[in-house]
Amino acid sequence: MINLLIAGYHGFGNCGDEAILKAMTKNIRNMAKDVSITALSYRPEFTKTEYNIDSVDRFNFIGVLSAIRKSDIILSGGGTLLQDGTSTRSLLYYLAIIKFGKLFGKKVMLYANGIGPVNGSFNRKLVKRIVNTVDVITLREKLSEADLRNIGVNKPDITVTADPAFGLDSVSDEEALKLLKKEGLTLKKKPWVGVSVRAWNKAYDGEDYVLKLAKACDEIIKTGKELVFIPMEFPKDVEFSKKVASLMKQKPHILKNRYNPSQILGIIGQMDVMLSMRLHALIFAAVKNVPMLGIIYDPKVEYYIKELDMIEAGDVRSERLDPKKIASLTCKVWENIDLYKQRLKLRADIMAGKARENDILLEKQIACIRAYKKGKSK
Handedness of CA 303, 308, 314, 316 (dihedral sign): negative
pLDDT band at 378 (very low <50, low <70, confident <90, very high): low
Choose among 13, 11, 8, 9: nearest CA to 238.
13
Per-residue model confidence (pLDDT) at position 373: 86
For residues 181 and 208, give the distance between their C-alpha atoms in angstroms, rounded to a whole number. 33
Other C-beta atoms within 10 Å of 102: how many?
A: 17
* Contacts (Cβ under 8 Å, ≥6 apart) of 126: 91, 92, 95
For residues 28 and 358, give the distance between their C-alpha atoms in angstroms, rounded to a whole number. 10
For residues 269 and 283, give the distance between their C-alpha atoms in angstroms, rounded to a whole number. 11
* Contacts (Cβ under 8 Å, ≥6 apart) of 176: 170, 263, 266, 267, 269, 270
268 close to 285: Cβ distance less than 8 angstroms = yes
* Contacts (Cβ under 8 Å, ≥6 apart) of 233: 12, 13, 14, 15, 16, 198, 278
For residues 325 and 104, give the distance between their C-alpha atoms in angstroms, rounded to a whole number. 55
Residue 376 pLDDT greater than 80, yes or no: no
Residue-wise pLDDT tens digits, 148-173? 999 999 988 999 999 999 999 999 99
CA angle 144/149/151 to nearest 5° reads 95
pTM of the complete model: 0.96
In this structure, of 221-230, 243-252, 336-345, 367-376, the range with the lowest mean pLDDT score is 367-376
Which domains does the chain carry? Answer: 2-160 (3.40.50.11930), 173-350 (3.40.50.2000)
Residue-wise pLDDT tens digits, 51-110? 999 999 999 999 999 999 999 999 998 789 999 988 899 999 999 999 999 999 999 999
Q: Which residues pair with 191 in a beta bridge?
A: none
User: Can you tell me whether residue 366 is helix, strand or coil?
Assistant: helix
Task: Give, in order, the Cα–Cα distances in Å from 170 to each of 45, 251, 264, 284.
Answer: 23, 28, 8, 9
Q: Which residues pair with 56 in a beta bridge?
A: 40
CB burial readout 250-278, b (16+ within 10 A) else e: eebbbbeeebebbbbbbbbbbbbbbbbbb
Residue 186 pLDDT greater than 90, yes or no: no
